[in-house]
Amino acid sequence: MKTHVFRPLATPSKFAKLNCMRKLTATLCMTIAILLESLGMSASADSPKDTIALTDLIQRNDLFYRFLSPTPYTGKVWGKKTGYLKNGRWDGDYVEVSETKGFTLRGSYRNGVRIGKWKFLIVGQTTKLHISAKYENGVININ
């Protein structure tokens, strides 16, 4: 009859454990850095410099914010709605295009209120319709 001798498994040395923890920590830090960087980047490489994609912003109480930011966003925005946001409100020239490119809206905002001349272009299959309107303090003025 043979006797089997059971030997305990070799345990990793302290150096091997430390090396493994260093690799794990480096991998975790790299993953977090990549995730944080991707949150700050816009959704497409086609975006102009110094702008943010509208899809990267969230709207709360009629103001636009960066994700997880407590302060309203100020800066250039591009996407279906393109323009400039000041303290979370549209300010300056503004262009909006529908997903199907069936209409275009152009005008200006001041502190989130429509001002001046606005142009609406509606493109149908057989016709184009141009409509112009003038806004004063956010109210349409029809003559």
The pLDDT tens digits of the residues spanning 10-58 come to 666 777 776 767 777 777 666 766 665 555 544 444 445 678 999 999 9
Any domain includes 26: no
Structural domain includes residue 28? no
What pLDDT sits at residue 37? 58
- Residue 12, in any domain of the structure: no
Percent of the chain whose pLDDT exceeds 90: 38
- Provide the pLDDT confidence category of residue 102 given band limits of 50, 70 and 90: confident
Residue 88 DSSP code: T
Domain membership flag for residue 122: yes
Please state, in angstroms and rounded to a whole number, the distance separating the CA atoms of residues 141 and 78.
28
pLDDT at site 33:
61
pTM of the model as a whole: 0.60
Report the pLDDT averaged over residues 108-135: 86
Assign residue 28 a region (left: φ > 0; alpha: ψ between -120 and 50; beta: otherwise).
alpha
Residue 29 within any structural domain of the chain = no
Q: Which residue has the higher pLDDT, 113 or 7?
A: 113
Q: Is residue 33 part of a domain?
A: no
In the chain, the DSSP E strands lie at 51-53, 57-60, 63-66, 75-78, 81-86, 89-97, 103-110, 113-123, 128-136, 139-141
| Domain contains 37 | no
The total number of structural domains in the chain stands at 1
What is the per-residue pLDDT across 61-87, written as a single tens digit (0 to 9) for each? 999 999 889 999 999 999 899 999 999
Q: Which domain holds residue 91?
A: 44-141
1 within a domain of the structure (yes/no): no
Tell me 27's DSSP state: H
Tokens linked to 43 = 């959704």
Check if the beta carbon of residue 96 is closer than 8 Å to that of residue 105: yes
Judged on CB neighbours under 10 Å (0-12, 13-18, 19+), 129 is exposed
